[in-house]
């Protein structure tokens, strides 16, 4: 069974540009979560999608947005990039949004903003 | 606000036992998770506790006390490959995972 996949592995952008990150969940998983992990820091929750709808978002500005497609894959968009957006962006998926809800993580996208 | 506290860094010796503590204050509780994250890699699931008590899984055990808002991860017979960050996360009433900053565990020969 294929795990969570993310693309691209690395992304280099300049300030003010826009970045798009992609995630494909494990087959059968309907929930997708996005996290930001800045160097040396813990995971910060960004967004949660389930069944195509945004269920919750973390304490991030509106320039962080995303969507979930009918096949449950997801996209994270970051507009007007700032230097402090440089981080590892992790996507996770789970089979159900409640109860026992182990999240399986993808390898991440390393975003560097110059 | 919601808060998860873990020590920033711990050092232990190969073959020994180490206990990593986690205290939490969250709006609601739907379980506590421990994940392992090696440098540069994605987190991988270690354990899940939703009821009080000890869950044992091989060399790793996890304990939960809901009344105290406290958990620990116990690692026995430490191996060099156990050098990693250990992340504590609590699922709140909205089924959102609240993450601690992680504990970096350094294993010395």
Q: What is the pLDDT of residues B71-99, one digit of tens each?
A: 999 999 999 999 999 999 998 887 788 89
Given this model, what pLDDT does residue A96 score?
A: 73
Q: Name every chain B residue with its beta carbon within 8 A of the beta carbon of A98.
A: 30, 95
Q: Name every chain A residue with its beta carbon within 8 A of the beta carbon of B93.
A: none
Given this model, what pLDDT does residue B97 score?
A: 84
Alpha-carbon span A71 to A109, nearest angstrom: 21
**Cβ B87–A105 below 8 Å, yes or no?**
no
Tell me how many helices (H) and strands (E) chain B has: 0, 11
Provide φ and ψ at B13, rounded to 5°. Answer: -100, 145
The residues, ordered by sequence, that sit 6+ positions from A38 with a Cβ below 8 Å of its Cβ are A44, A84, A86, A87, A88
| A52 pLDDT above the threshold of 60 | yes
Distance from the Cα of B73 to chain A's closest Cα (Å) equals 17
Query: How many CA atoms, within 13 angstroms, populate the side-chain half-sphere of residue A54?
Result: 12
Using CB atoms, pick whichever of A44, A98, A104 lies closest to residue B95.
A98
A–B interface: beta-carbon pairs under 8 A:
47
Looking at residues A59-86, what average pLDDT do you find? 96
Q: What is the pLDDT of residues B42-55, one digit of tens each?
A: 899 999 999 999 99
**Cβ B42–A106 below 8 Å, yes or no?**
yes
């Amino acid at each position: 069974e294929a795990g969570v996949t993310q693309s691209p592995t690395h992304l280099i952008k300049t300030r003010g540009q826009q970045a798009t990150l992609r995630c494909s969940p494990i087959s059968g998983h309907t929930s997708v979560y996005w996290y930001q992990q800045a160097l040396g820091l813990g995971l910060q929750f960004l967004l949660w999608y389930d069944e195509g709808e945004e269920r919750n978002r973390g304490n991030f500005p509106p320039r962080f947005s995303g969507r979930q497609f009918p096949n449950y894959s997801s996209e994270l968009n970051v507009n007007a990039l700032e230097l402090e957006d440089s981080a590892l962006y992790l996507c996770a998926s789970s089979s159900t949004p409640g109860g026992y809800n182990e999240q399986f993580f993808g390898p991440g996208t390393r975003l560097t903003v110059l | 606000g919601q808060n998860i506290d873990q020590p920033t860094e711990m050092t232990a010796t190969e073959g020994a036992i180490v206990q990593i503590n986690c205290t939490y204050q969250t709006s609601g509780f739907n379980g506590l998770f421990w994940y392992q994250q090696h440098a540069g890699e994605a987190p991988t699931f270690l354990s899940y506790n939703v009821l009080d008590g000890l869950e044992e899984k091989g060399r790793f055990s996890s304990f939960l006390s809901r009344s105290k808002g406290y958990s620990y991860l116990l690692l026995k017979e430490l191996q060099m490959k156990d050098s990693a960050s250990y992340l504590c996360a609590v699922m709140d009433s909205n089924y959102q995972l609240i993450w601690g900053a992680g504990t970096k565990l350094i294993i010395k020969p």
